[in-house]
Amino acid sequence: MDNAEAYIASAMARMGIIQVPRFDVADALEEGTLVQVLNGYEAPSVPISLLYPSRRNVPLRVRVFQKWVTELLSAHGVLNEH
């Protein structure tokens, strides 16, 4: 169990409020199992970095992974590309 899962389980057990990425609780919010509070407050964004060794030619597997992660996060509205 990772931290988000533990937080969500605690909230589902009515042990308090939590702050997790929306995509982690989207189904529970839609079903009404959890409800959003503090609607006027939005937590600041946390930067996400993909680190790999500096090379002239980035390996294909790294480029494929980078593309996949970017598409995944964009699809969930998590990534704001500049």
Per-residue model confidence as pLDDT tens digits over 20-61: 888 889 999 999 999 999 888 877 877 888 888 887 888 999
Give CA separation, 27 vs 24, 32, 33, 44, 66, in Å: 8, 8, 8, 22, 26
* pTM of structure: 0.59
Q: 40: which DSSP letter?
A: T
Q: How far apart are CA 31 and CA 27, in angstroms?
A: 6
Residue-level pLDDT at 35: 94
pLDDT for residue 3 is more than 90? no
pLDDT for residue 82 is more than 60? no
Domain extent listing, the chain: 1-43, 46-82
